[in-house]
Amino acid sequence: MFPFQLSLKGLSLPEVPFQERISPVPFAKFNNIVAERVHDNSRSATDPSSKPTPHSPPRQDLLKQAFEQRFPNISIAIPVDYSVFQGPRVDLQMVTPEGIVPDIVMLQTLQDFARWKWLGKLVAYKPRGWDKVYGAFRDQDGFYTGINVMVLGSIINKNLVSSNASDRSLTFGDLLKPEFSNGNIGTVDPSYDDAVLFLYKQIVDKFGWGWLSQFAKQNPRLICGGIPLAAMVENGTVKVGIGGFGSFPNNANAATEFVIPADNDPFTTYAMYAAILKGTKHPEAAKLFMSWQLDTDGPSSVQTWSVRTDVQPKQNRRQIWDYPNSSHQKFVEFMSNIDDRQRFGRQISLFFDISKCVIRPLETDVRPQ
């Protein structure tokens, strides 16, 4: 999973795996209330010396383009790397004389935000629309706020899996059937992505280690990341992908479809946190970016569910927090308990050959610009 830093030149953002699917057009729509707030911030935010930097994941080009299209006097840099390296990189910058590079961090490693708050490293800021963000998705003191709802579960190739599966009746029990053996299932390597590891933790908690033993005998293909997995499902290399990102509405022209499971089967959801780092060189531009992200027509509402309680899900879906088989808070707890997370990771490695996916930093510079 890729994190991102956001530098506003005017930002620095951490990881947002979905962004390659975002169309920049909806980002340009701001309602009058948000436009007023945006205008208030724009005077100092658009000063030539105010250029922010965010830390985040790959394929943030559309996010950058959309923001700069809406605010042409502000440019942003979005250095991309995995969250497991972005967090430590920010920690290292915090103790160096030069200080931090990013203005904003958006990361999957949600446990970092509570720690940074405790250390006094974050700026308390409640963006426009903060009061509409679901309570569990935000820090009550405003030091960090959920920006995007991330969803991981099963994706299928509609042309290769029977139609009843696309009606969301495909279960983890179904994956033990002969038709899904011999490499017909792809899965993101659980050791490669903590969100996928948590998905497997939920499955094992629900169905037991016996399910995992039988699943391993299906010889699933271990894939290094959700994006290559989606490509393999789309081109028919595998019928089903475990650990794929979910969005809706599904593209009618695409072969790939995200399967929202029945209430008995777990899936992973969490809100990607964003925060402004103390010491930011572009505070007004950083605040502008945060408010833009939370706008009802902004990027946080385009791909899946919104973090906002006043935005209704598309296709008559339930609000994401109303699904009993997925929990943002449980993911936060999983990420915060390092010992249990590492122990489960070692246990699951006894069932899979996880040696193929070695995570290395995409950027070796401690201070990427």
pLDDT along the chain (369 residues), means of 10: 51 34 25 23 41 48 83 84 82 88 89 95 95 95 94 90 59 93 93 90 96 96 88 93 78 80 86 93 91 78 79 84 91 93 93 73 63
- Positive or negative, the CA dihedral 317, 223, 12, 73 is negative
Q: Tell me which residue range forms the domain holding 152.
A: 4-348
Q: Give the C-alpha separation, 11 to 144, whole Å.
A: 15
Residue 25 lies in a domain: yes
Residue 358 lies in a domain: no
**For the CA atoms of 126, 129, 133, 138, what is the dihedral angle to 10 degrees?**
-10
Residue 192 lies in a domain: yes
Q: Give the per-residue pLDDT at 226.
A: 85
CA distances from 116 to 88, 91, 160, 357 (A): 12, 9, 46, 29
Distant-in-sequence, close-in-space partners of 159: CB < 8 Å, separation ≥ 6: 236, 255
Residue 363 lies in a domain: no
Residue 272 lies in a domain: yes
Q: Give the per-residue pLDDT at 76.
A: 86
Residue 367 lies in a domain: no
Output phi, psi for 324, to 5 deg: -75, -15
- Given a contact cutoff of 8 angstroms between Cβ atoms, the answer to whether 352 and 190 are in contact is yes
Residue 364 lies in a domain: no
Q: Give the per-residue pLDDT at 22.
A: 27
Q: What is the gyration radius of the CA atoms in the chain, in angstroms?
A: 20
Paired strand residues for 106: 4, 274
- Given a contact cutoff of 8 angstroms between Cβ atoms, the answer to whether 308 and 145 are in contact is no
Q: Give the per-residue pLDDT at 17.
A: 32
**Helix/strand/coil (H, E, C) string of the chain?**
CCCEEEEEECCECCCCCCHHHCCCCHHHCCCHHHHHHHHHHHHHHCCCCCEEEEEECCCCHHHHHHHHHHCCCCCEECCECCHHHHHHHHHHHHCCCCCCCCCEEEECCCHHHHHHHHCCCEECCCCCCHHHECHHHECCCCCCEEEEEEEEEEEEECCCCCHHHHHHHCCCCHHHCHHHCCCCEEEECHHHCHHHHHHHHHHHHHHCHHHHHHHHCCCCEEECCHHHHHHHHHCCCCCEEEEEECCCCCCCCCCEEEECCCCCCCCEEEEEEEEEECCCCCHHHHHHHHHHHHCCCCHHHCCCCCCECCCCCHHHCCCHHHCCCCCHHHHHHHHHCHHHHHHHHHHHCCCCCCCCCCCCCCCCCCCCC
Structure-token pair, residue 316? 């008559």
Residue 63 lies in a domain: yes
Q: Which residues of 135-145 are buried (b: 16+ CB within 10 A; e: fewer)?
A: eebbbeebbbb
Q: How many domains does the chain have?
A: 1
Report the CATH number at residue 257: 3.40.190.10
Structure-token pair, residue 191? 């050791």
Residues in the chain: 369
Q: Give the per-residue pLDDT at 169.
A: 63
- Given a contact cutoff of 8 angstroms between Cβ atoms, the answer to whether 13 and 102 are in contact is yes
